[in-house]
Amino acid sequence: MDFFGSQEAARRRTSLLVVYFFFAVAAMILTLYVAAVGTLTFANSRTSDPSVGVSWWQPQMLLLVAGGTIAIITMGSLYKTAQLRSGGAGVAEQLGGRRLQGNSRDPLERRLLNVVEEMALAAGTTVPPVYLLDNEPGINAFAAGFTPGDAVIGVNRGTVEHLSRDELQGVIAHEFSHILNGDMRLNLRLMGLLHGILLIAIIGYYIVRGSGFRSSNRREKSGGQIIVLGLAMIVIGYVGLFFARLIKAAVSRQREYLADASAVQFTRNPDGIGGALKKIGALSAGSRMESAEAEIASHMFFGSCRQSLFQALSTHPPLVKRIQCIDPSFDGDFSSAVKKTSSKPSKKTKDDPQAALEGLTRSLGGLATAGMGESRIPVDPVIVMAAVGEPTMQHVDYIQGLLDRLPDALRDALRDPFSCRAVVAGLLLDSNAEIRANQLQIVQAKLGDLSHQETNRLAPLIETQGPATRLPLVEIAGNTLRNLSPSQYQDFRETVLELMKADAKIDLFEFALQRVLIRHLDEHFHGHKPQRATYLSIGGVKQEVSNLISALSHLGHADEAGAKSAFEQASAAFAVEKVLVMRPRGECSLKQVGEALDKLAQGSVGVKKRVLHAATIAVMADGVVTTAEGELLRAIADSLDCPMPPLLGASVA
């Protein structure tokens, strides 16, 4: 699977969606026009002079119908799109989802949160909020959002009750495929557009209902005509529903096969997702959704939420066929799938503290130690770029081992919004005693005595974890801190910025924290606006690219010769355009890097790929990367919406 290729394919599918939508609207206009003229013909047949016919070609009527239909569809689509601007959280709440808190003690909820957390950190994304659909007994799940940074995961109650941990992991891996491959944004656009089509039927329903109360003889004739028109609009609305389902099927069905394959590639465990699909077939509830809102979101789910009489209208491939793609030996017999079903998590799972270091020692060996304990890691830019949006089970094992090593007190603090602020403050404390004392005074003044005490309590625990743990802690904190009130977040934000300025300089980790944590929280609390691809070629951002690559070349090399060599190697990514101009060291700063990234985030997928490739080469030109440089590189990738998994070294394929 190719992350950048999948992103580009998603963009092309968006164009295809527009074409489908155009034909659907045209068909509805034509049908509604025929219904309108037919209504006039029916009315004329009941006049005193029925010999007077009605022409079937009426340009003014066609323009009126076309204008009205387009206006209704546009208003309906704009209304729904505006509703969806809140991103995935809005979708989850419409479907009846309840956001799970990080400090939940329910064992099934805890297992779900742990699986999502592991998958997110392994993929290099911020940990998404998780919503549990308590009133849904079927096995289903979905991912929704505009970008990996604002995604949410929704899971049915039946999913956590009926699936084992491996099966749950397979389902979550499937949903992360949709997050990483650009499917979510397309799905939200599809929801907005199709709501406008379905609005025709809703209006027809209210016309018929309102006309039914007419009782005077004088209004009977006109009332009858309006009822006929209303019924026609309902029928046309169902024509719209037909096209809506056809469009969703055309856009989403193939993506489900790809997401299944990605889940197998991610987890290296076909029995996980395969077992989940088999249990859907075995259980009476299957993957059915009870929510009335599920119809418009049916293309987003892991399994088909509605039965369709015609396979061409199904949003998902046949269940048996999906399973056979994963397990060719499957014969279609679901009877044995429920034998191992249990509503309680197994005692021997990654959620059991007694299983602390299993993931670390099982498959990584010395590589995990190198990744967590040493300050310099051997890397290969080609391998690092190939891993963007393509995490493997080795990344999951690495993260499981890292999380298992965290003290319970630190894990508990990361799940609580109040204590989580102290974790972030502890990560920013300086090693210099005088600066550190000043920083603690800032915490006390801005967040209060209790936060000051909590920071002092947690700081020693944080320091024992080593530098490789810092960025995962930040990524976990991002999800928990979304539970702050706007005023609490503002105080926290000001505190973080003051802590960074306490030593009169911004280091690489502080810059990474600002890009990975504060930037995403700003988008959450101040409203996230999806970035459009404004720059389709390097030419429009050549100054920003030059600033970025120059700064990275200087940051990684104290000597000018080394910096020049790194810059020249990175420039090879733009050899045809020859757009890069190396800036002097005195003109390069992390502030310029941040400003460049803000503009480069508006680039096309192709632009982002080449920029990230060049940045990776610049950072890794000497063949090794420090932990701080790795954090910076991953922060750059995150800023470009290109999730980069943890850097495990050159031997990770």
User: Residue 191 and residue 317: Cα distance in Å, rounded?
Assistant: 20
Q: How confident is the model at residue 138 (pLDDT cuts 50, 70, 90)?
A: very high
Residue with token string 């006929």: 228
Q: How confident is the model at residue 539 (pLDDT cuts 50, 70, 90)?
A: confident
Which amino acid appears at position 525 of this protein?
A: F
From the candidates 109, 136, 175, 629, give the one annotated as an active-site residue. Answer: 175
Question: What per-residue confidence (pLDDT) applies to 372?
Answer: 32
**Whole-number mean pLDDT of the chain?**
82
Token pair, residue 294, equals: 């599920």
Question: What per-residue confidence (pLDDT) applies to 477?
Answer: 95
The arithmetic mean of pLDDT across residues 272-277, rounded, is 94
In the predicted model, is pLDDT for residue 335 greater than 90?
no
The arithmetic mean of pLDDT across residues 254-258, rounded, is 82
Three-state DSSP class for residue 380? coil
Q: What burial letters (b/e) apply to 292-327, b meaning 16+ CB within 10 Å?
A: eebbbbbbbbbbbbbeeeeeebbbbbebbebbbbbb
Percent pLDDT > 90 in the chain is 43
322 versus 235: the higher-pLDDT residue is: 322
In the predicted model, is pLDDT for residue 650 greater than 50?
no
CA atoms within 13 A on the CB side of 305: 24
What's the DSSP call for residue 535?
A: B
Question: What per-residue confidence (pLDDT) applies to 459?
Answer: 95
In the predicted model, is pLDDT for residue 218 greater than 50?
no
| Residues 6 or more apart in contact with residue 479 via CB below 8 angstroms | 102, 126, 127, 128, 129
What's the DSSP call for residue 131?
A: E
The arithmetic mean of pLDDT across residues 154-166, rounded, is 96
Picking from 12, 316, 277, 257, the residue whose alpha carbon sits closest to that of residue 138 is: 277
DSSP H helical ranges for 46-106: 59-83, 88-94
In the predicted model, is pLDDT for residue 173 greater than 90?
yes
The arithmetic mean of pLDDT across residues 647-651, rounded, is 61
* pLDDT per position as a tens digit, 17-27: 677 778 778 88
CA 283 to chain centre: 29
The arithmetic mean of pLDDT across residues 53-72, rounded, is 82
Is there a catalytic annotation at residue 175? yes
What's the DSSP call for residue 488?
A: H
Question: What per-residue confidence (pLDDT) applies to 653?
Answer: 33
The arithmetic mean of pLDDT across residues 112-125, rounded, is 94
